[in-house]
Each structure stands twice: as C-alpha cells, then as structure tokens.
C-alpha cells in the first residue's frame, strides 16, 4: 500500500523517506497499519498533532490507513488577538 503524508508548521521526520515532487512523504507498507503506528514510525519532532485523513480531522489514531490515503499533520494552532 502507498499513502501520502504531508507535514506542516515545522513538523519534520528524523528519518529520510521517498518524497514526491511537492516534497510530501510517500510511505509504502505491506500490511495495514494505524495512524498511531505511522506517526510512531515517522519519528516526528513535534507532538501533539492535528491529524487530517483525506480532508477530515481524525481524533481516533487507531484508525486504519488504506491505499491512496492522504494524511496531513499540523501542529496545534494558537494565538490571535482579543477584540
């Protein structure tokens, strides 16, 4: 199976992976894995994450990843201004 992983907001992996022309990680695996297992395998430098799977925010990291899924990882967003 092959999925695309997009990292935003300074999130980086301590490992080297195959990347596509946009710089996104192309992750290939032979058996089904969960979002949690993927995040652990990627050895990312920031936690926690906002996880988006195929355009939908996911809170359950035990969700299984399927062929051609697109996973986007964002750091928590904070800030702004009070009016």
pLDDT of residue 67: 94
Give me the domain span that covers residue 70. 2-74
Domain count, the chain: 1
Is 23 part of any domain? yes
**Are the beta carbons of 30 and 1 closer than 8 angstroms?**
yes
Q: What is the mean pLDDT of residues 75-83?
A: 68
The reply to whether 22 falls in a domain is yes
- Identify whether 55 is part of a domain: yes
Please give the pLDDT value at position 80. 58
Q: Is residue 57 part of a domain?
A: yes
CATH number at residue 63: 3.10.20.30
Q: Residue 79: what pLDDT?
A: 59
Q: Which residue has the tokens 């990347």?
A: 19
Q: CB neighbours of 8 closer than 8 A, spacing ≥ 6?
A: 72, 73, 74, 75
pLDDT in tens, 8-59: 988 988 889 999 999 999 999 999 899 999 999 998 877 788 999 999 999 9
User: Does residue 40 sit within a domain?
Assistant: yes
Kindly state whether residue 82 falls inside one of the protein's structural domains. no
């Amino acid at each position: 199976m092959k999925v695309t992983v997009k990292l935003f907001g300074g999130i980086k992996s301590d490992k080297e992976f195959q990347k596509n022309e946009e710089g996104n990680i192309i992750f290939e695996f032979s058996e089904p894995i969960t979002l949690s297992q993927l995040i652990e395998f990627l050895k990312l430098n920031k936690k926690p994450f906002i996880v988006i799977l195929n355009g939908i925010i996911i809170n359950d990291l035990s969700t299984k990843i399927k062929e051609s899924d697109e996973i986007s990882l964002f750091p928590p967003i904070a800030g702004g201004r009070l009016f």
